[in-house]
Amino acid sequence: MHNMQVAQWTDGWLQQCNHLPSPNFAPRSDINDVSVVVLHNISLPPFQYGQGAVQRLFTNQITSTEDDIFLRSLTALRVSSHFFVERDGKLTQFVSCNAAAYQAGVSCFKGREGCNDFSIGIELEGCDFEPYTAAQYAQLTVLLRAICSVYPIQAVTGHEHIAPGRKTDPGHYFQWDNLRNQDLPVVTDYQWPVVG
């Protein structure tokens, strides 16, 4: 994103990034209750970057004729994320933030299950075994500020924190202090099992 002093949004779409609309979303039960950001990592095929396969996965374009056997195994998946930050910092949005993307799955935050309904998902291109890039941290910070400027975000957390035992991303190498140092509301205590 450039010139991000003022983030511009239209119907939940951030205007300062690429848009690749995904059909994989659901209405939110309360459009005014978007209070959590969930960070993830993804690489497709696993541990490969810049292949375009993540964008194809989120738009249901992975087919049974893929050369890669792992990609072929994903043909029936219907998943998405609001945002994807590539290794070079390139930002793409797939789902309006006013709708629920299919990103968190079975999850729980502060006793509330089904985090998709009230969260925004950001996928960082990466894996659990390698540091993220400076360009990704820079873009992520700008994106989080843009989100916090229009949504009442109370927590930025990890998929591993809302689905522990099931998910491990963004993983050991993600530098939460990078966000804490910029006064973003980081929450990294584990939110499972369901309380109350």
Which residues carry out catalysis?
Answer: 123
CA count, 13 A, side-chain hemisphere, 87? 14
Smallest CA-to-CA distance from 42 within 163, 124, 120, 121 is with 124
Which residues in this chain contact Zn ion in the complex, by CB under 5 A?
A: 40, 159, 169
Least Cβ distance, residue 3 to Zn ion (angstroms):
30
Token pair listed for 38: 């969930």
Nearer of residues 112 and 167 to Zn ion, judged by Cβ = 167
Whose Cβ is closer to Zn ion: residue 86's or residue 169's? 169
* Residue 97 neighbours by CB under 8 Å, 6+ apart: 9, 12, 13, 14, 34, 82, 120, 147, 151
CA–CA dist 191, 161 (Å, integer): 6
Cα dist from 71 to 74, 80, 88, whole Å: 5, 15, 23
Contact 84, 54 (CB under 8 A): yes
In the complex, what is the shortest distance from the CB of residue 37 to Zn ion, in angstroms, rounded to a whole number?
12
CA nearest to 26, candidates 110, 126, 104, 95: 95
Shortest distance, CB of residue 156 to Zn ion, whole angstroms?
A: 14
Least gap, CB of 24 to Zn ion (angstroms):
14
Q: Which is nearer to Zn ion, 40 or 161 (CB)?
A: 40
Rank residues 4 and 56 by Cβ distance to Zn ion and give the closer one.
56
